[in-house]
Structure 1
């Protein structure tokens, strides 16, 4: 799978072709910033636009939000320094790990860094047509589930929920689509039954307004066996009571699992001062954007998971230290995450040199084994052994 095989969306490609880095602006940020995000109907895109409006109104900084259909198209501009940050999902972790689409010769483990994240009252869960009686992940059995090409984050997280219900891919019917919007439309049109997304995304609201209606496949918190299976497949998840989204409220919550989304991230090559200034702006401007888009209140400073599975950028660490939030435990976790990235990078460099020229499928299979071997030798959990 060459990089050229993953075409950037037209709007993204056009925006990148016209993007020019601005001169230094307020608060240590350039006058023009570029973020990539999910498609325009996603909650992550809406939150990015809300933050961009606050940056413009309060600091005179223009934020260009570039929608990408999948994890690859969101990360390519950041990797290639054509965009500054990505408001990304769990594809951030998968890119760090060099798995799924990132296991191919032109990718490999990525040295990513987080800056801030949103963890609101909504959840990232499988959603389904409301005419099927789906209430928990167990009800996905036998259903037509949407698979998004080039989006391992969405697809694997659907699988994590399936593991909660002790299901494998053979227990569902996979239907491929080019993007999350197409997948959502397919459910409306009765070409599929379920997909993975946010409880507050426009795609779910569109489904709710259709004759089929919408519902969610939860993960009941008292199901210990189910949670053990889920956490083995997705250690980045947390138990969460979802009160925001279609049909949800404090009176009608959904017991589910979720993870931070969006995660504002960049690469290790991001300038520390810019990362610091971006982090500071996210929290300084919070009151200006928290009610401007569904889920935007999830960017609260006290919602930050500073002990997550991807390292925090050194510039962001500086901010969290100044704010009195950074602890010795956070530092230890960050150093462990950085060490894991070193293990993965070394393993990739060695393997890629040895496997150069191999057919792609053979290359990926070999990397699966080399990756597991390197992580286990370093006494790290592989999480994924194959994909």
Structure 2
């Protein structure tokens, strides 16, 4: 694991002691900051609403938090409409967006960079408290209804490819044995379990929605993603290469101690985001941490130390403004430059290849669609030689 000199810690301490006004020099903040998050029932939305008012008070900016539960819509608002400046997005979703997985294949690709670490969210497979399911292996018997969040290509991949692998099935066998129940939002997908519309759903243990579900008649229980199941995790990792296995330590009481997966949420910005803005945002997140860390449990996961720890395994590019700040406090070195430059090059290669595929498809009169075999063949031709994004272990 990467380590840094004691001097770096001293620099951080000096910055924190300086206080927000002094630490931010005389930077002229924009009049308004708009941050997009998943829906109102998520921890991402709640925790962003924790630090937003603190930043508003300290910088004079008007900070608006916009919940957008549809992942595709939130991406478009960040990269195309440009009516949000920052988006809270899971690392897994970012991979799908960049590599054009699922529905993302049919939209133009845009480069996005990490601004800051938001939280490390535990996920698990939940079922009703009176379900006969005790293990993911039980699903192999067939006949079970799987809630499928069609609003997120990443969640679709999880339940249609990753979950079958853990149960010892191929995706094709799963199509025959499972009943996939579409859900148009995260809340609808998870609630399907307690409302009797599905037998199992993939949910984040920290969202307020799960507290509501836990209190429902019969309650809920979690099916462990056994870390000793090497074959199961290998198959799941092929479908979800951005998650990390391990016991759940945050969230609703019923999930604590159950083995699941962790997906990091990140505050992402467009690659063309102003460097000074990104630098001062990073500086504020680090040096005002003590002022906002108690506003929500997930806000406590936004320290510069935790961010630095995440960067030891991240495959995603970091914005130059954030890099500038981390260098300034001694938490970025030449080794980081090397992997980050490689991550930028990988991002650029995927964006160029996918947009070239879209251009070729349209020139041939082929409608870009994840369901069109002719289009998918063109996309595969352009991206076949590219290295995908995967956690650096």
TM-score interval w.r.t. the shorter chain?
0.7 to 0.9
The answer (yes or no) to whether the contact 2:34–2:65 under 8 Å persists in 1 is yes
Stretch moving more, 132-141 or 198-207: 132-141
The answer (yes or no) to whether the contact 1:114–1:313 under 8 Å persists in 2 is yes
Q: Which residue of 2 aligns with 1:310?
A: 316
Q: Which residue of 1 aligns with 2:64?
A: 64
Aligned counterpart for 2:268 among listed residues 248, 259, 265: 265
In structure 2, do the counterparts of structure 1 residues 193 and 368 end up closer, same or farther at CA, with 3 Å as the change threshold? same
Stretch moving more, 335-344 or 63-72: 335-344
RMSD: 2.6
TM-score (norm 2): 0.81
Name stretches of at least 5 consecutive residues in structure 1 with no aligned partner: 1-23
In structure 2, do the counterparts of structure 1 residues 337 and 187 end up closer, same or farther at CA, with 3 Å as the change threshold? same
The answer (yes or no) to whether the contact 1:347–1:370 under 8 Å persists in 2 is no
Aligned counterpart for 1:98 among listed residues 97, 100, 116: 100
Residue 213 (structure 1) shift: 1.0
Rg larger in 1 or in 2?
A: 2
In structure 2, do the counterparts of structure 1 residues 66 and 355 end up closer, same or farther at CA, with 3 Å as the change threshold? same
Stretch moving more, 135-144 or 281-290: 135-144
- The reply to whether residue 295 of structure 1 matches residue 298 of structure 2 is yes
TM-score (norm 1): 0.82
Stretch moving more, 229-238 or 284-293: 284-293
Moved segments of 4+, more than 6 Å: none
The secondary structure found in structure 1 opposite 2:108 is coil
Q: Which residue of 2 aligns with 1:21?
A: none
The answer (yes or no) to whether the contact 1:289–1:296 under 8 Å persists in 2 is yes
In structure 2, do the counterparts of structure 1 residues 309 and 140 end up closer, same or farther at CA, with 3 Å as the change threshold? farther
The whole-number CA distance in structure 1 between the counterparts of 2:334 and 2:284 is: 25
For residues 153-168 of structure 1, the aligned pairs below 5 Å read 153-158=154-159, 159-167=161-169, 168=171
In structure 2, do the counterparts of structure 1 residues 281 and 133 end up closer, same or farther at CA, with 3 Å as the change threshold? farther
Q: Which residue of 2 aligns with 1:17?
A: none
The answer (yes or no) to whether the contact 2:38–2:67 under 8 Å persists in 1 is yes
In structure 2, do the counterparts of structure 1 residues 296 and 127 end up closer, same or farther at CA, with 3 Å as the change threshold? farther
The whole-number CA distance in structure 1 between the counterparts of 2:336 and 2:380 is: 26
For residues 195-214 of structure 1, the aligned pairs below 5 Å read 195-214=201-220
The whole-number CA distance in structure 1 between the counterparts of 2:382 and 2:252 is: 44
What count of residue pairs does the alignment treat as equivalent?
353
The answer (yes or no) to whether the contact 1:375–1:381 under 8 Å persists in 2 is no
Residue 355 (structure 1) shift: 1.2
